[in-house]
Amino acid sequence: MTGVQPSILDTIGRTPLVALKRLSPPNGATVLLKLEYMNPGASVKDRIALRIVEDAERSGALKPGGTVVELTSGNTGTGLAVVCAIKGYRVIAVMSEGNSVERRRMLEALGAELELVPQAGASEPGKVSKEDLDRVEVRAQELTRELGAFRADQFFNPSNPAAHEYGTGAEIWEQTGGDVAAFAAAVGSGGAFVGTARALKSRDASIRCVAVEPEGAPYLAGRSVVNTRHKIQGTGYATTPGFWDESLVDEYLTVSDNEAVKMARRLARVEGVIAGFSSRRRCGLRRGCPSWRTS
């Protein structure tokens, strides 16, 4: 039947770009937001989940009936749960107790098993630090060994940036007709930034690619890390992804919790876009104005 997708996996990617005309400055650059929440798992991480699983199937690293283990703040685990629900794999999502309850509920609804790890030091729900993530990583490694499971390993798996190089980045180029001046993304595992920047710069080396980190943890920028515990979940863990490529970065920017919360609320009230604090995937069209940063 025309227009009918074989499964939910066939709806991953090909998300729309929307112009933020009400938030952009008058007579300034056109600022675009890629609506990754329109993926079935409601985030950009669906892209890497599908690529990681299918690459593992092709290589033989993941066999029928196998178990997938991964650390997550919620989105990667959700993406893996969506993919594995269709493909028939067991999923164990290892999370800090500091991550949101809503993410836990979504994972459980999709059939994933949760392994919750206590926070390091004082518990601060909604704020997960590098120390918390280190604990989650230790438990994910233990489970992978104990179960003989396949580890998705989003911070080091080259399938992560590949999903964006051949998906997100290629889509942005096509959707804008190549009229892109700059691209900015918050850095978590780093795959979205590296893959998208690589795709765009391979087509036009003049495109400025900007990596965004939380204000207290500008680790990749080489500045002092004051605090890795913040509200911008999934980013700012003061670690270098295994596939990080410094040559792709033209500039680093930081954002505070208050700025992220304020902009998420403005996006909803002014542009009608429901987005999280770590909303990413923006690019400015060439309009001869440097004010694309106002996104």
CA-nearest of 117, 147, 151 to 134 is: 117
Residue burial 138-175, b: 16+ Cβ < 10 Å; e: rest = ebbeebbeeeebbbbbbbebbbbbbbbbbbbbbbbbeb
d(CA 31, CA 211): 16
Q: Is 206 designated active site?
A: no
Catalytic position from the list 45, 130, 201, 231: 45
Name the CATH topology of 45-151.
Rossmann fold (3.40.50)
CATH number of 8-38+162-294: 3.40.50.1100
Tokens representing 48 are 């890497």
**Residue range(s) occupied by CATH 3.40.50.1100 in the chain:** 8-38+162-294, 45-151
45: annotated active-site residue = yes
256 C-beta neighbours (distance < 10 Å), count: 14
Task: Return d(Cα 293, Cα 184) in angstroms, integer.
Answer: 9
pLDDT digits 0-9 by tens, 211-268: 999 999 999 999 999 999 888 888 988 999 999 999 999 999 999 999 999 999 999 9
- The residue annotated as part of the active site, out of 73, 278, 279, 295, is 278
pLDDT digit string, tens, across residues 44-54:
999 999 999 99
Q: What angle do CA 236, 185, 57 make, to 5 degrees?
A: 85
**Across residues 103-120, what is the average pLDDT?**
96
Residue 196 CA: distances (Å) to CA of 33, 156, 240: 14, 16, 17
